């Protein structure tokens, strides 16, 4: 490995049969650019030698792998559900819902944790191939959900200020919200369908 000294000389790494020599460069301002690679020595590190397995050991390991091969047991596959989504109205707001996911809505009064809730205001139901559009709601379509949590939303700072009057009020507000998990979307199959082809 080569090192550049402060006296603008390049010092190569000495090998076991050479002595250390210093090479002076003719132009000191360009000394970091010009050096001879012939004086540099490259040494490779020796890696530990791993003994190769003999033929009998290799054959023995193959037979072990054959004996211990795992047996795959196929379970009856659950039938795929049709991917479906719906647009529902809860408390004057519209939400896109998917079965298995949860949403945060405004506080549902009278609902406690683990209560089942039925959302009847379904505005639209969509699948991969078709859409059921309500006028304004899809008839007989319902979205089943379970209440998971009654909690408060993040704090919102309400800061009141009047200039030149020394009037400042700092108030925090946390809106009560409900987290519901959508379990199923049903009853939309009887409605008129619009295909997406």
Short-list 101, 119, 109, 128, CA closest to 182: 101
113 and 39 in one domain?
A: no
For residue 25, the enclosing domain spans 1-43
Provide the domain count of the chain.
Answer: 2
pLDDT confidence band for 124 (50 / 70 / 90):
very high
Establish if 135 belongs to a structural domain.
yes
Per-residue b or e along 145-176, where b marks 16 or more CB atoms closer than 10 Å to that residue's CB: bbbeeeeeeeeeeeeeeeeeeeeeeeeeeeee
pLDDT confidence band for 142 (50 / 70 / 90):
very high
Establish if 171 belongs to a structural domain.
yes
92 and 181 in one domain?
A: yes
pLDDT at 43: 53
> Phi and psi at residue 180, in whole multiples of 5°?
-120, 145
Establish if 175 belongs to a structural domain.
yes
112 and 33 in one domain?
A: no
Establish if 72 belongs to a structural domain.
no
- Give the C-alpha distances (Å, rounded to integers) separating 17 from 11, 39, 41, 105, 131: 16, 13, 12, 82, 85
Range 119-140 average pLDDT: 91
131 and 181 in one domain?
A: yes
pLDDT confidence band for 192 (50 / 70 / 90):
confident
pLDDT in tens, 20-41: 444 444 444 544 444 544 455 5
pLDDT at 20: 45
107 and 36 in one domain?
A: no
């Amino acid at each position: 490995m080569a090192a550049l000294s402060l006296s603008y000389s390049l010092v190569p790494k000495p090998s076991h049969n050479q002595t250390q020599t210093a090479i002076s460069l003719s132009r000191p301002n360009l000394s970091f650019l010009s050096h001879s690679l012939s004086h540099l020595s490259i040494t490779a590190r020796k890696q530990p030698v791993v003994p190769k397995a003999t033929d009998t050991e290799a054959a023995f390991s193959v037979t072990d792998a054959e004996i211990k091969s795992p047996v795959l047991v196929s379970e009856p596959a659950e039938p795929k559900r049709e991917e479906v989504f719906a647009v529902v109205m809860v408390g004057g707001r519209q939400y896109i819902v998917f079965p298995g996911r949860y949403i945060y809505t405004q506080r549902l009064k009278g609902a406690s944790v683990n209560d089942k809730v039925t959302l009847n205001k379904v505005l639209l139901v969509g699948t991969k191939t078709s859409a059921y559009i309500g006028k304004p709601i899809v008839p007989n379509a319902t979205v089943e959900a379970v209440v998971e949590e009654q909690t408060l939303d993040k704090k919102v700072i309400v800061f009141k200020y009047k200039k030149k009057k020394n009037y400042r009020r700092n108030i925090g507000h946390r809106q009560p919200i409900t987290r519901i998990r959508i379990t199923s979307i049903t009853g939309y199959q009887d409605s008129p369908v619009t295909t997406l082809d």
